[in-house]
Structures are given as structure tokens and as C-alpha cells.
Amino acid sequence: MSAAATTTFAHASVRCGRWTLHLDGNQKITAGNGTYAEPATNALSTLAMWDCPGSTPSCRASCYVQGLAKAQPELYALYGLNSRAIREILVASPAQRSESARDLGRYIAQHCRGGFRWHVSGDIQSNIHVAWIVEVCRHSHNVDHWIYTRTFDTAVLDALTFASNLTVNLSADPDNLYVALAAADHHGLRVCWMQRDPAPPPEGLKPGDVIFPDYLLRKKSPQGSAWFTSLTQEQRRMVCPVDYFGKSEHIRCGVCKKCL
């Protein structure tokens, strides 16, 4: 059974201007919203791959959202509705776009105070999309937001970092590692590395970066995996504990602050 099949999800429909956006939350990304047993909504997602302009062959091959789409088709259908709504928002008038950002930001400010996750599925579409995200963050300045992106354009990253309550993480894999490292150095950002095979993590990662092990490398016994035991102590501290050990009340986003 896939991880998605055993995950509890929460859902809320939020009216944002003339559009409805669907927020969800799960046991991993609760942050300070709800509990492990009863997570609260705190994420906005769109479609995997279709809405991921910076996707690579490596990330498409390991995309966890494919499992979610099969295990939770009703939830993934809402991501499709979000995809359509976001695309309409981004071509709407500036006034309509600002109204939608204001309404979403106010909802987040009231209901997602523990933290808000952008794009469990999907990614940034354009410079206008970035400006809209930043405006949402401004209307929920009491909330810490976090995002992972494979869009490393300098203008995009400059604009994202303009939001003081948004933590920006650069998603890296073997196909885009060197571009990600360069962008991280230039903007002072964190790299989140997807480890796909049992080889040592690549050179260039820093202690503040995060290593996300693919499914085959995750803990499957009390002794752990051969890959994990081969890591240095510093590298072990960089590994995402939720992905490696499995989510629980004491191991989830919010309790863990590596990406926040």
C-alpha cells in the first residue's frame, strides 16, 4: 500500500474573489495546524508535471504525487480544479487578481496559523504567479509559509524572497543539481536534494540543506537501511526525518523545522 493510501487528509473550499480554491492538509505537513490524527488544511496544490515547468526526468520518474493520484483520486481532482482556477486568476485583471490574493491570504491568516505549504503538487507558473503568491503572503503576514520550487530563474527567486514570511527551498536532483547549487549560493537559499540511489550524497550540499530519500532508501527495519548507516553523522542530520523514519505525532513538518 502506498503512503498516500494510508494518509489522512483535510479539505476546505475557499472563495477567493470569483474563484473557489481547494486547500488540503495531511499528517505530514500539519506544521502547527491540527494534530497528526486530525490534520487541518494548510496547503494549496495544482497538478503534478502539467503545472511543473521546471520538472526533470528524475523528478518525474520519482513523483510521489502519482501515488496520491491513484490512492486519492477525489483529492487529486481538486488539484485539477485549482489548476484551472489559478490559470484564470493569472490572466484576470490586476484588481481581480489582488482580490483573490486578499481573500486567500485572509483565510490563511485565520485558519492556518501554524504554517502554510505551497504546492504539495505543482509549482510556480510565471512571474505573475510569483507576484500573486507574494501578495497572499503579505495578507497573511502572521503565518510562516514555505515552498519548494524547481524554477530557478533569478527574477522569480528575487521576487519570492521579497516575502519575509516565505521560506524558499530549491528542489534538486541529478538533472538540475549544479543549477540549483548556483542559485542557492546566489540567493542564500536552501537546497532540498532528492536522493534516488544508495550512492553518497553529492558534493556541494551544505549542512543547512536537506536530503529527501526516495522510497527504496527509506527505513524498512529497526536497524535502518544500508544507505543511511553509510552516511556521516552530519549527512544523517540533513536527512528529512519524516521521509526516512515515517510520519508520526512527533515526526512531521512543524515539529521538524529543517525546511521552515
- The candidate with the shortest Cα–Cα distance to 52, out of 181, 175, 165, is 175
What's the pLDDT score for residue 2? 44
What's the pLDDT score for residue 175? 97
Neighbour tally for 155: CB within 10 Å: 9
Q: Look at phi and psi of residue 222 and say left if phi exceeds 0, alpha if psi is from -120 to 50, else beta.
A: alpha
What's the pLDDT score for residue 1? 31
- Name the amino acid, one letter, at 104: L
| DSSP-derived secondary structure letter, 165 | T
3-state secondary structure (DSSP) of residue 244 = helix
* Least confident range of 17-21, 140-144, 213-217: 213-217
Phi then psi for residue 27, to 5 deg, are -65, -25
Note the pLDDT tens digit of each residue in 174-212. Answer: 999 999 999 999 999 999 999 999 999 999 999 999 999
Note the pLDDT tens digit of each residue in 112-126. Answer: 999 999 999 999 999
Residue 3 has pLDDT above 80, yes or no: no
Residue 5 has pLDDT above 60, yes or no: no
Q: What is the mean pLDDT of residues 72-90?
A: 97
